[in-house]
Copies of this chain bind each other. A is one copy, B any other.
Amino acid sequence: MQRPSGRAPNQLRDIKITRNFTCHAEGSVLVDFGATRVICTASVEAGVPRFLRGSGSGWVTAEYGMLPRSTGSRMGREAARGKQGGRTVEIQRLIGRSLRAAIDLKKLGEHTITIDCDVIQADGGTRTAAITGACVALVDALNYLQRKKLIVQDPLRQLIGSVSVGVYQGVPVLDLDYPEDSSADTDMNVVMGEDGGLIEVQGTAEGAPFQREELNAMLDLAAAGVSELIGLQKQALAEG
């Protein structure tokens, strides 16, 4: 088996994490997983949604979008069509849930952090890139809150990272790009924490059902991949 990109089965694409990509947001990251490029911003607002008011607890939520021509052929703009598609909704719910697992909402106080993940160029794995980049933007926003003395304790429990794994031509592989993604037998997105614990596992049989051994092999790849990604997050956060 030869991956279209020539990568080894357990090899990530070139990962870049660029902090302070735009100037207004409390956290702003451009993340590249190879040719997949996502702008992740974290916006801090005072107050929380109604169901949390008076609870002393904060909230983290996410929105996801793709620029119309981030893909090979132009997709209709969701704002113009007047609604977000099912895939968009599914992805933004996943991002929000994952990031809430990364922090202690109690320590956030009654603040809301909204994470916007906007794909400017897509080549597979946009949701995993988004989560990985968003976590760094989130940390920058948490640092902002502490620096401004708006919160006292650091709400961060641990860094989280995410990567896709799949079975491509019978072989488990890490971090699928679009050519692999579109012909893989199985596709799985995994979100893990710095401590190696699982936060989200979403596996789908695209063709035939998959077996427990395949699941295990994919999870092994994901664990190593996320560990590498968290190393890169730490490196990016250490700079500047």
| Residues of chain A whose beta carbon lies under 8 Å from any beta carbon of chain B | 22-25, 28, 35, 37, 39, 41, 43, 45, 63, 65, 67-74, 77-80, 82-84, 86-90, 92-93, 97, 101, 114, 116, 118, 120-122, 188, 192-193, 195-205, 208-212, 215, 219
How far apart sit A121 and B92, CA to CA, in the bound complex (Å)? 22
Q: Please tell me how many copies of the chain the complex holds.
A: 6
Shortest Cβ gap from A69 to chain B (Å)? 4
Contacts of A86 in B (CB 8 A): 89-90, 92-93
Of B89, B195, B197, B215, which is within 8 A of A198 by CB? B215
> Is B79's CB under 8 angstroms from A83's CB?
yes
| Cβ-closest chain B residue relative to A192 | B209
14 contacts between A and B (CB under 8 A): A22-B120, A68-B116, A74-B116, A79-B84, A79-B88, A89-B89, A188-B201, A197-B208, A197-B211, A198-B203, A199-B205, A200-B203, A201-B201, A212-B219
